[in-house]
């Protein structure tokens, strides 16, 4: 299976994917920012890179058309948004429907959009996390593939909570891509995702635990 990864910054999730030993040929890493540090990381790992600078285009439609042309040049089976900080047009999303996935630093449908960790802390939630999902035209509401939850600890700030969630992002993003590559994911008619060969439920995460818990 061939994949193209889209990034905008440091590309830590991209790096986790490239180093996970997945049954995937990563054809190219594309950034909308020429100064994205993840481009250097990808090249150091032997993956081709390209830049489609959004500042060179007038409007989202023109940028998305150029981005799609760059992607299609690699004929990918999967397009992966790994910290790609652009809102994509509906026509772009429809073009890759069912093979366009994203990772979001919250337990969707809670906290879509930006500043998720600060919003989670402000809301006083006890459990936070991350979500890998198929992308749909409406931002951060696509069918959920996999989620990971972490406890929100006493004394957490945005940085400490973000670090704990990021560690889980690096675990579940490669897992979701592996499932896709192995053909184990199926979109149900009701818009949810079925995973073939799913095992039984794991232990629950309870936070905070009572004394003696």
Q: Could you read off the pLDDT of 5-55 as tens digits, one per residue?
A: 999 999 999 999 999 999 999 999 999 999 999 999 999 999 999 999 999
Q: What is the mean pLDDT of residues 90-114?
A: 97
Task: Single out the residue of 136, 135, 104 nearest to residue 120, CA to CA.
Answer: 104
Alpha helix stretches (DSSP H) within 73-183:
90-95, 116-123, 158-181
- Supply the pTM of this predicted model: 0.95
Residue 88: is its pLDDT beyond 90? yes
* 212 — pLDDT class (breaks 50, 70, 90): low
Residue 65: is its pLDDT beyond 70? yes
141 class by beta-carbon count within 10 Å (0-12 exposed, 13-18 middle, 19+ buried): middle
Alpha helix stretches (DSSP H) within 52-95:
60-72, 90-95
Residue 104 bears catalytic tag: yes
Using CA atoms, how far apart are residues 72 and 76, in angstroms rounded to an integer? 7
* 207 — pLDDT class (breaks 50, 70, 90): confident
The domains of the chain, with CATH numbers, are: 1-96 (3.40.50.170), 102-195 (3.40.50.170)
Dihedral in degrees, nearest 10, Cα atoms 136, 141, 144, 150: 140
Using CA atoms, how far apart are residues 199 and 196, in angstroms rounded to an integer? 9
Q: Is 85 helix (H, G, I), strand (E, B) or coil?
A: coil
> Annotated catalytic residue: which of 54, 58, 104, 128?
104
Using CA atoms, how far apart are residues 132 and 211, in angstroms rounded to an integer? 33
What pLDDT was estimated at residue 211?
67
pLDDT averaged over the chain? 95
């Amino acid at each position: 299976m061939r994949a193209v990864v889209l990034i905008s910054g440091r590309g830590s999730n991209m790096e986790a994917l490239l180093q996970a030993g997945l049954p995937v040929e990563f054809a190219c890493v594309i950034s909308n920012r020429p100064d994205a540090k993840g481009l250097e990381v990808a090249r150091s790992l032997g993956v081709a890179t390209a830049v489609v600078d959004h500042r060179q285009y007038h409007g989202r439609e023109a940028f998305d058309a150029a981005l799609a042309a760059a992607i299609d040049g690699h004929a990918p089976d999967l397009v992966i948004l790994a910290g790609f900080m652009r809102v994509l047009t509906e026509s772009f999303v429809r073009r890759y429907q069912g093979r366009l996935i994203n990772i979001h630093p919250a337990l969707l449908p809670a906290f879509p959009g930006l500043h998720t960790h600060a919003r989670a802390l402000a809301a006083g939630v006890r459990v936070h996390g991350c979500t890998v999902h198929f992308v749909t035209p409406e931002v951060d509401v696509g069918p959920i593939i996999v989620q990971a939850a972490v406890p929100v600890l006493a004394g957490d700030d945005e940085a400490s909570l973000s670090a704990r969630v990021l560690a889980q992002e690096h675990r579940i993003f490669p897992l979701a891509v592996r499932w896709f590559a192995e053909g184990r994911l199926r979109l149900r008619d009701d818009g949810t995702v079925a995973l073939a060969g799913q095992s039984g439920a794991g232990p629950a995460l309870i936070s905070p635990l009572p004394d003696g818990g």
